[in-house]
Amino acid sequence: MAEEQNGLLLRIADVDNVYVLLRPITAGTVLQFGGRETAYENALELGHKIAARDIAAGEKIIKYGAPIGSATRDIRAGEHVHVHNIKSDYIPTYTLDSVTE
Amino acid sequence: MSAKAGFSGFLRQDGRKGIRNTILVVYLVECAHHVAREIVYPYRKQGVHLIGFGGCYPNQYAYDMMARLCTHPNTGGALLVSLGCESFDRRGLAERIAESGRPVETLVIQERGGTLSTVEQGQAWLGETLAGLEESTPRVNMAVEDLVVGAICGGSDATSGITANPAIGRCFDLLVENDAKAIFEEGGELIGCEGVMAERAVTQELGEEILATMEKTARYYTTMGHGSFAVGNADGGLSTVEEKSMGAYAKSGSSPISGLIKPGDVPPSGGLYLLDIVPDGGARFGFPNINDNAEIAELIACGAHMTLFSTGRGSVVGSAISPVIKVCANPDTFRRMAGDMDVDAGRILEGRATLDEVGEEIFSQVLAVAGGAPTKSESLGHQEFVLTYKTFEPIGPACLPV
């Protein structure tokens, strides 16, 4: 496990292409990823995922060193990774409208 | 960490040892539920728990579950409440309980003068039985190796897989080191983990059984059109069922997997066991388990003296028969719901404790609860219980190689 951005982000396994937020972030927060700025329009709760690098559509999302689904579109480093841009490789995720973006 | 220090338990005729001496009041069809609940009410804080089966149609699984629960080492006796016309085999169940050396009585509402009179007779039986219970139950020394401990997660979020579940995994490793029996359950929450799990099996044949079970699971949930994934899981940052699975899987710790069991199978010796909760023979009666408590009841039917329950969003449930230890994964949830939580595993996220420290704390709590200390949900009177229709085939010989 490795923490980055002053303990804000956790990469659980070295091969993971997503970080986990260790603290919530507020709307309007700006973070630097590979010299590029990412601004967050929405607040994110702790535990949510952030892309650790650019991920191409169709690529596997890796967390805990294991695939947890596939990207449904290109995801930029720093972007929020969730049900709006990844999908299960097993059974579709059921969400209410209030939780999808 | 060793735990040779013993505690006092209750000795049953079959040689098993219990950590509680609970009297069950059992309704055998929903039509008898109200009467059974009324019987329990004045005794609900005196070690009397209400369980039951709602269906009027017979079901072998439900009967076997009920027989296991009524002769569970934590159970001291049972009062069966029947309407009279339901299909449940009340005579067979009463015989099984009597043969186990436990006090048992059956009240058939249609033969006992209806609601009020049955409630009176039930309460009179409870009063007499409770008065003589302590004297009639032999005590026995217990050690950690006598314990069967289950683990489950409910109300998971993205913190569950980083804090509470791996901490429970550490506790499971300590239990297995001390020759206790540890059971983690496999429903749709382990879809995606089949490969890593099969590699941990003590024999190749067991590994193949695990793979076959997981294929059955994926097929079953696909037929249902819905994974083991609730809306709150996505609110909490989990995106897919396999992401939830990888987090849930951490509860199993790192011991080899000694066996694959089904509801009601009691592990034969110390070690780590996987409980298959998905029915055999295709999707017939609906979702495998409609909620967390249906799964807890199955762990208890496998002999679990207590259940470790990991939660991130914040579940409040306990259980009839065997206490539930609530391990809270999310530090914000713990601050909001401290009165319901036994262990604050979210400290790991805030740098206030390590995984090993929380794992050892859960292990200490297991010993304390085994020695009689009440858990939070137990003190609050939580006694949730759910039992529904299912079908199972017996496990094959490769499932228990040891």
ipTM: 0.87
Its sign, for the CA torsion B148, B322, B249, B66, is positive
Cβ atoms within 10 Å of A43's Cβ, excluding its own: 12
Cβ contact, residue pair B234, A93, below 8 Å: yes
Which residue reads 């950590």 in tokens?
A: B19
Out of A64, A87, A95, name the one closest to residue B246 (CB). Answer: A64
pLDDT score of B2 = 46
Cβ contact, residue pair A91, B226, below 8 Å: yes
Q: Which helix (H) or strand (E) holds B151?
A: strand B148-153
The DSSP bridge partners found for residue B396 are none
Cβ contact, residue pair A90, B191, below 8 Å: yes
A9 CB within 8 Å of a chain B CB: no
Q: Which residues of B touch A94 (CB under 8 A)?
A: 226-227, 229, 231
pLDDT score of A100 = 41
Out of A20, A93, A96, name the one closest to residue B241 (CB). Answer: A93
CA-CA distance, B17 to B24, in Å (whole number)?
17
- DSSP for B251-300 reads GGTTSPEEEEE-TTPPPSSSEEEEEE-SPSSSS-SSSS-SSHHHHHHHHH
Cβ contact, residue pair A88, B332, below 8 Å: no
Cβ-in-10-Å burial (0-12, 13-18, 19+) of B373 comes to middle
Amino acid at B66: M
Cβ contact, residue pair A47, B162, below 8 Å: yes
CA-CA distance, B154 to B228, in Å (whole number)?
11
Out of A64, A67, A83, name the one closest to residue B234 (CB). Answer: A83
The domains of chain B, with CATH numbers, are: 22-136 (3.40.50.2300), 144-399 (no CATH)
Contacts of B128 (CB under 8 A, 6+ apart): none
Give per-residue pLDDT as tens, B315-364: 999 999 999 999 999 999 999 999 999 999 999 998 899 999 999 999 99
According to DSSP, residue B104 is labeled E
What residue of A is the nearest CA neighbor of B188? A91
Is B377 a residue whose pLDDT tops 70?
yes
Q: Which helix (H) or strand (E) holds B50?
A: strand B48-52
Q: How many A/B residue pairs have CB atoms within 8 Å?
A: 107
Annotate chain A with three-state secondary structure. CEEECCCCEEECCCCCCEEEECCCECCCCEEEECCEEEECCCCECCCCEEECCCECCCCEEEECCEEEEEECCCECCCCEECCCCEECCCCCCCCCHHHCC
Please, where are the H alpha helices in B286-372?
292-301, 331-336, 355-370
Cβ atoms within 10 Å of A37's Cβ, excluding its own: 9
Out of B237, B242, B351, name the one closest to residue A90 (CB). Answer: B242
The domains of chain A, with CATH numbers, are: 2-99 (2.30.130.110)
A68 CB within 8 Å of a chain B CB: yes
Cβ contact, residue pair B349, A46, below 8 Å: yes
Quickly count helices (H) and strands (E) in chain B. 13, 14
Which residue reads 């804080």 in tokens?
A: B45
Give per-residue pLDDT as tens, B115-163: 999 999 999 999 999 999 999 999 999 999 999 999 998 888 889 999 9
Is A101 a residue whose pLDDT tops 60?
no
The mean per-residue pLDDT over the stretch A87-94 comes to: 83
